[in-house]
Amino acid sequence: MVRKELFLLVDYDKPFKDLDEQLKLLELDRGLDLGPDKTLSGKYLLEIGYYNIINGYGEQFEDTSEEQKHYIAGTTFFDIFKQYNLDQTLARAMIPNLLNIEQKLGTLLSYFIAESYGVNHYKSDDPKNLWPSDKSYLDESNYNFSNNSRGIIAQLYDAIDDAKDNPLAYYRDEKNHIPPWILFSNIEFGKLTRMFKVLTPDLKLKICTQLLPKKFNQINTSHTIVANMFQIFELVRSFRNQFAHNSRFCFTKFKRLSSTISIRNSLNFYPLISNSESFSGAGKGDLYNLLIIIILFSGGYEEAEVRINLYDQFIKNQFNNNKNPTDSSFDQKGYDAFIKSSGLPSNFNKRLIDFAYYLYK
């Protein structure tokens, strides 16, 4: 009983604050300028969330010399909101490129697995199996497993059993087998990447050479890019998931999935990133790393150049203060904050265009 009473005296770390309390905290306690129309700031806090805007994008505007959280003098709510808005806008521009990589991986897995192992998905002892002498393309003996990857085959069979939507459910219930191109077009990206991970070296090589520019046509199974392709796919998947969960996109870093240095070294294209930049953390599972991968999987130089210029324009447009046709000023403070928080090199667009030219010309 005493323990319960003591527990009830403890304050919550994050108690509920109504909208007025949130605005007061930002303006009076933390020195944030809410602008002439506080109702607009309140509208965004209510509809998007204090945590999603302030906690997600305000850090770069904090005065680190203060013991308590406080913003640098002159920082406005819309300085922070611009970072949020750009993050969302750029993510929406990039997500089709990530989905395209996912689709290509699923299609290539389907093709080369069917070519190598056939189209029968049944286990040999399954009573529905009309071809017991034909080894299933999901037979574990077809793949190379590490200690933590063997479960992928069981997960694929679970996906088949649990399918409620067509075409996977239709093929399971109405056809006498499920070919790889039906299965792999109807499972999530994570299962596709884990399936790639357990492929034999020769199948991995076939997929890599099909996906990558012609400069990689002469690589072999021991090439660095082949060894790192699972990490590359995983970084794409991780950013895709950030978008799906409405989490920060441009400012997120997955350092364990870093591939910039390996891509640079495998191509001998050293302008991509310097050793000192990499040592400081740049290009390690961040937005720049993701952009490099998108360029690597582009269909050619022109396509890559269009993408880079589009992304660059999205960023710069966010900080153009030209609502008034006579005002051509540029929010350099906001732009610098974005570049610093995202980890992009200041001349990222030139580097990536040069990289695309090196790859495709």
The predicted-structure confidence for 184-195, as pLDDT tens digits, reads as follows 999 999 999 999
Nearest of 160, 159, 153, 170 to residue 113 by alpha carbon: 153
- Output the pTM of the full model: 0.91
pLDDT at res. 10: 80
Whether the CB-CB separation of 296 and 212 falls below 8 Å is answered with yes
pLDDT at res. 327: 58
Residue 213 buriedness (CB in 10 A; 0-12 / 13-18 / 19+): buried
C-alpha dist (Å) from residue 178 to 90, 127, 138, 310, 339: 38, 15, 11, 40, 47
Question: Which position has the token pair 């884990």?
Answer: 194
DSSP string, 61-85: GB-TTSSS--BPTT-BHHHHHHHHH
pLDDT at res. 71: 93
Rounded to 10 degrees, the C-alpha dihedral 98/233/299/203 comes to -140
Whether the CB-CB separation of 19 and 46 falls below 8 Å is answered with yes
Regions of the chain where pLDDT drops below 50: 325
At 179 the three-state DSSP class reads coil
pLDDT at res. 271: 95
C-alpha dist (Å) from residue 63 to 59, 74, 79, 117, 338: 9, 11, 14, 60, 17
33 phi/psi in degrees, rounded to 5: -80, 115
Rounded to 10 degrees, the C-alpha dihedral 101/107/113/116 comes to -110
Radius of gyration, alpha carbons of the chain = 25
At 326 the three-state DSSP class reads coil
Whether the CB-CB separation of 77 and 334 falls below 8 Å is answered with no
Residues 6+ apart with CB under 8 A from 62: 69, 70, 71, 72
| Helical packing angle, 229-244 and 189-197, nearest 10° | 170
76 phi/psi in degrees, rounded to 5: -110, 160
Residue type, 280: S
